[in-house]
Structure 1
Amino acid sequence: MSFESRTPSAPGAPRAPRTPRTPRPAGSPRLALAVIAASALMAVLDGSIVTVAMPSIQSHLGFSPAGLSWVVNGYQLAFGGLLLLAGRLGDLLGRKRVFLAGIALFLAASAVAGAATSPAMLVAARFAQGVGGAASSAVSLGILVTLFTEPRERAKALGVFAFTGAAGASIGQVLGGVLTDALSWHWIFLINIPIGLLTLAAAVRVIPTDRGQGLRAGVDVSGALLVTGGLMLAIYTVVGTADHGWGSSRTLGLGALSVLLIAGFFVRQATAANPLMPLRILRSPGVAAANVVQMLMIAAMFAFQIIVALYMQRVLGYDATETGLAMLPAAVAIGGVALGVSARLIAKFGARSVLITGLAMLTGALALLLRMPTHANYVRDLLPTMLLIAGGGLAMPATAGLGMSGAREQDAGLVSGLYNTTQQVGAAIGAAVLSTLAAGRTAHLLRAGHSPAEALSSGYHAAFMIGVGLLAVALIVAVFALRDAPEQDAPTPTPTPTPQTASALDLVLAPTG
C-alpha cells in the first residue's frame, strides 16, 4: 500500500516528495545481514590485500614511485568523495537498487584491475572500484536500519560487522602475501569476483526492496557537485602532503580551495529548497561530536593498523605472512569484544560510557608501543598491545550509535554516508600526518648517521606518540561534548572498513631514505 498524499497541488506549486514505501521483506534479516557483511568483507580485503602487493605491482607494470601511490589514492579519492552523495541517492532511489549497482560496478572494476596491463588501466579500475565501494557501503547502513529495528538486535548486527571487519583485515594481510607469492598480484583483485558474484546473487533475493523517496525529494545538483568536488580535493591534498609537505604552495592552495568548496556546500544547504544534506542533521545532539571523535580515532588507529605492521617487517624482519599472523590476536580481540559483549555493555551502561572506556583502552594500547625496542620480543612487547586494542570493539559500535543519534529514518542513508565520510577523511589525515612525520624523523636520523633500524624505530615511535595524542583529544571530546547526546532509539550505522591510504605506501617503499 502506498502512503503518498493524494491532495491536489495548487497550480505551479512544487510537488511534495512521496513518502518512501515500507521495505518489502525479501527473506531472513540474518541472511540479509550475511550478504551485507560479505560486501563489507570485500572492501576490507581490497584495502589490506593491496598494501602487501605494491612492490610486485610496481615491478610488473613499471610504475614510478609517485605513480604507484595512485593505486591506493584512486580508490581513496572515489570512495571518500562519494560516500555522502551515495548515501543520499540510496534514500532517494532505493537503497537496494544502489547497493546492487555498487556491487556490480565493484565486480566489473575488480576484473579490469586483475587484468590490467598498464599503470593507467589499473589506476582507472581502482577509481571505479572506489565508486562502486562507496555506493554499496553507504547504503548498506540504511538497509541495516530497516532490517533491525530493535536496539539490542541492531547492536548485535553491528557486532557482526565489527567482527567481519577485524577478521577481514587480518585475512587480507595474510592472503595478500600468499596470493602474490603463490600466484601473482593479479589475484588480489580477482579474488573479489567469486565473493562478489555470490553476494550479488544472494542480495537480489534477500535484501528488502524499497522504493525510496523519489528524485523530487532532494536532487540538489549544485550541492552534490560542491561537496563531492570539495571532499575529493581535500583527500587529494592530504594524501599529497607526503611528497609536497604541509607548508608547500600546492598544499596550501588546494587546501584553501577545498575549504571554499565545502563552505559553499554548507551555504547552499542553508538556502536550497531540497538540500542534499539538511543542516538539521548536524544540530542533532551528538551527531557532530561523534563524527569528530570518529575522525580522530580513525586517524590515530592508522598508527596501529599500518605502522605496527611496518615496524614488524622493516625493523623486526617479519615477512608478510608472519606479520599477518602476528596481527591476528588484535583482530580476534576486536571482533570478540564487538560480537560478544559490546551490545550488552551499551544496553547496560550507555553508548557514551562504553565509548569512553574503549578510547581509554586504545590510548593505553598505543602508549605501550612507545616503549617497544629495536629488538622487540613479540610476547613481551607486542602481544599486550594486540590484546588491549580490543577497545576498538567497544569504541566503534558506541561511536556509530551516537553518530546516528536523532537521525530520521528517511535520512538514514545520508547520515550513514556522513558518518562514513568522516571515517575516510580521518584515515586520509592519519595516513598523511603520521607517515610524513615518521618518514621525516627517519630520514633525519639516517642523515645523522644512525643505523636504519634505529632510524626507523624512532620514526615509528614519533607516529605512535601522535596517535596517543589524537586519541586523548577524542577522549576529551567524548567526555564533554557527548554529555547530552541521546543513546537510544536511533538508527545505528556500521563502521565501513577503511581502505589503506597512499601515504602508507610511501613508508613501505622509502623509509630508509
Structure 2
Amino acid sequence: MNKQKFGMILPIILISYFMILLDNSIVFTSTVKIAADLSLSASELSWVTNAYALTFGGLLMIGGRSGDIFGRRNVFLIGLVIFSSIGSLLVGLSTNGLMIIAMRALQGIGSAILAPTTLALLMDSYRDQMRTRAIVYYGATGGLGASIGLVVGGLIASYASWRWGFLLNVPVGILMIVLTLKYIPASKKVEGKLDWLGSILSVLGITALVYGINGASHPVPMVMTGILLLVLFVWQEKVSKHPITPLKLFKDRERSSAYIARFFFLGAMISYFFLTPQAMQQVYHFTPLMAAVGFLPETLPQFVFATLVSRLNEKFTNTQILIAGTVITLAGLVFAAVVGIQAGYWWSVAIPMVIIGIGQGFTLSLLTVAGVANTDKEIAGSASGVVNMVHQIGSSVGLSIITALTANLISPVLSYDHAIIIMVVFMLISVGATLNIGLKK
C-alpha cells in the first residue's frame, strides 16, 4: 500500500464514524422543532432516538461479525449506502411521527453495519503505538460527534429546517463511498457463518427490554420477556459454533470492565445531551440556537482534553487517565445536581459542562482502547461490535430509565433535577467499573 492510500484510511474512517454520531446528536437540539412539526408526544419523541439506538445496538454484533466473514470493506460500503444514501434521505423527508421513527430505525440498521467495521478497519490498518493513537482519535471522534452535533442541530433548527441535518449526509456519504473504493483495500475474509438465531434473540431481547422501560402498557411482563430473551441469547452464543458474540470477549477483565463502564457512562451522558437542550429551552426559554451555543462550555474542553490524551500517556497509564476522566465527569454531574437547574445558566449548566467536557475528553477514547484490548485479528470485528453495541444500548436503556422515572413530574425543573440525580448514580457505577480495570494492573 502506498503512503497516499495509507494516509487516507484514517480520515475516511473518522469522517464516516463522525457522521453517524453527529446525526444522532443533531436530534437532541432539534427535538422541540421535530415534535412541533410532526405533532409528537414526549414518549414518541424519545422513540426518535430509541428506534435508532435499538436497531443500531441490536444489530451491531451481526454487523461486526459480517465484516469478519464477508470482508470489512464490502460491509463498510453497504453500511454507508443504507445509512447515508437511503436512511438519512428518508428521515429528512419524513411527514409524520411513524415515518420518522421507522426511518430512524433504518438509519440504525445502516449504522450497525457501518460502525463496527470502522473500528475493525482501523485495527487492520495500524499496528502498535500507531494503532493506539488511531484508536484514541477514534474515541475522541465519538465524543466530538456527539457534542458538535448539538451545536450543528441548533444552528440548523434556528436558521433552516431540522431536515437539513439529515439531508446533508447524502452528499457526504456519496463522497465517502467514492473515497473508500479508491483508497481502502479489500480485506481478507474469515471462514465462518452468521449466527442468525443469536442475532434475532439479541434484537428482540433488547427491543423488549427498552420498550418495557419506556412505552409499554404492561411494562413488567415486557421487561421480563426482554431479560428472558437475552438469557436465551447468551445460551445460544455459548453453544453456537459461529457466535456473533464470542463469550471469550468477556473473560478478559479489562474488556468486560470497560463494557460496563461504557454502558453506564453513555447512559448518563446521552441522557444529559438529550435533556439539557430541552431544559435550556423550557426553563430559560432559549432558542434552539441559544441552546446549541450553550453547549460550547462542554464541547470546547472536550476537544482540548481529548487531544491531550496521547501526550499524557508519556507520564500516566491509560487506566490512570481513564479513572481520572470518569471521576471528573462524576464531579460535574454532582455539581449540577447540588446546584439545581433554577440557579441559572452559568451555575447550573455552564460550569458543570466545563467539568463534564474535561472528563469526557479523557474518557471516551480510552474506554474504546480498553474495550478492544488483548483481542486477536479473528475476533476484531466482534470486539468492535461489542464496543459500539454497549455504547448504543447503554444510551438507549439509560435514556429510557430516566424518561420513565421523570415523565410524570409536574414541571420541567423537577424533571431535570431528578434526571441529573439518576445520571449521578449511573456515573458512580461507571467509576467503579474503571477502578476494576485498574485492579488488573
Relative to the length of structure 2, the TM-score reads 0.91
- CA change 1:476–1:184 in 2 (3 A) is closer
Query: Does the 8 Å contact 1:94/1:211 carry over to 2?
Result: yes
Residue 349 of structure 1: SS of its match in structure 2? coil
Residue 374 of structure 2: SS of its match in structure 1? coil
The separation in 2 between residues aligned to 1:404 and 1:252, in whole angstroms, is: 35
CA shift at 1:384, angstroms?
Answer: 2.6
CA shift at 1:459, angstroms?
Answer: 2.8
Question: Which residue of structure 2 lines up, in the alignment, with residue 404 of structure 1?
Answer: 372
The separation in 2 between residues aligned to 1:227 and 1:132, in whole angstroms, is: 17
CA RMSD, 1 decimal: 2.4
Q: Any idea what the Cα deviations from partners look like across 1:71-111, whole Å, max 9, x if unmatched?
A: 33322221111011101111111111111100001121222
CA shift at 1:360, angstroms?
Answer: 0.9
Query: Does the 8 Å contact 1:312/1:323 carry over to 2?
Result: yes
CA shift at 1:300, angstroms?
Answer: 1.9
CA shift at 1:430, angstroms?
Answer: 1.6
The separation in 2 between residues aligned to 1:148 and 1:165, in whole angstroms, is: 19
CA shift at 1:311, angstroms?
Answer: 2.6
Query: Does the 8 Å contact 1:25/1:208 carry over to 2?
Result: no
The alignment status of 1:73 with 2:29, answered yes or no, reads no
The separation in 1 between residues aligned to 2:68 and 2:213, in whole angstroms, is: 30
Aligned positions of 1:79-478 closer than 5 A: 79-106=56-83, 107-151=85-129, 153-214=130-191, 217-240=192-215, 244=217, 250-339=218-307, 341-346=308-313, 348-373=315-340, 375-389=342-356, 390-440=358-408, 442-443=409-410, 455-478=411-434
Structure of higher CA gyration radius: 1
Structure 2 gaps, min length 5: none
Residue 155 of structure 1: SS of its match in structure 2? helix
- CA change 1:311–1:336 in 2 (3 A) is same
Query: Does the 8 Å contact 1:29/1:148 carry over to 2?
Result: no
CA shift at 1:198, angstroms?
Answer: 1.4
Query: Does the 8 Å contact 2:237/2:243 carry over to 1?
Result: yes
Aligned amino acid, residue 332 of structure 1: L
**Is 71-80 or 368-377 further displaced after alignment?**
368-377
- CA change 1:54–1:369 in 2 (3 A) is closer
Structure 1 gaps, min length 5: 1-23, 245-249, 444-454, 486-513
**Is 55-64 or 37-46 further displaced after alignment?**
55-64
The alignment status of 1:38 with 2:52, answered yes or no, reads no
The separation in 2 between residues aligned to 1:399 and 1:280, in whole angstroms, is: 19
CA shift at 1:469, angstroms?
Answer: 2.1
The separation in 1 between residues aligned to 2:383 and 2:314, in whole angstroms, is: 22
Q: Any idea what the Cα deviations from partners look like across 1:231-282, whole Å, max 9, x if unmatched?
A: 33333333336xx5xxxxx222122222222212222222222323222221
The separation in 2 between residues aligned to 1:108 and 1:279, in whole angstroms, is: 34
Aligned positions of 1:56-71 closer than 5 A: 56-63=33-40, 66-71=43-48
Query: Does the 8 Å contact 1:226/1:262 carry over to 2?
Result: yes
Query: Does the 8 Å contact 1:80/1:232 carry over to 2?
Result: no
The separation in 2 between residues aligned to 1:348 and 1:429, in whole angstroms, is: 36
**Is 388-397 or 298-307 further displaced after alignment?**
298-307
Query: Does the 8 Å contact 2:29/2:278 carry over to 1?
Result: no
The separation in 2 between residues aligned to 1:112 and 1:259, in whole angstroms, is: 33
* Greater helix proportion: 2
The separation in 1 between residues aligned to 2:347 and 2:399, in whole angstroms, is: 27
- CA change 1:78–1:25 in 2 (3 A) is farther
Aligned amino acid, residue 92 of structure 2: G
CA shift at 1:376, angstroms?
Answer: 3.5
Residue 133 of structure 2: SS of its match in structure 1? helix
- CA change 1:132–1:302 in 2 (3 A) is closer
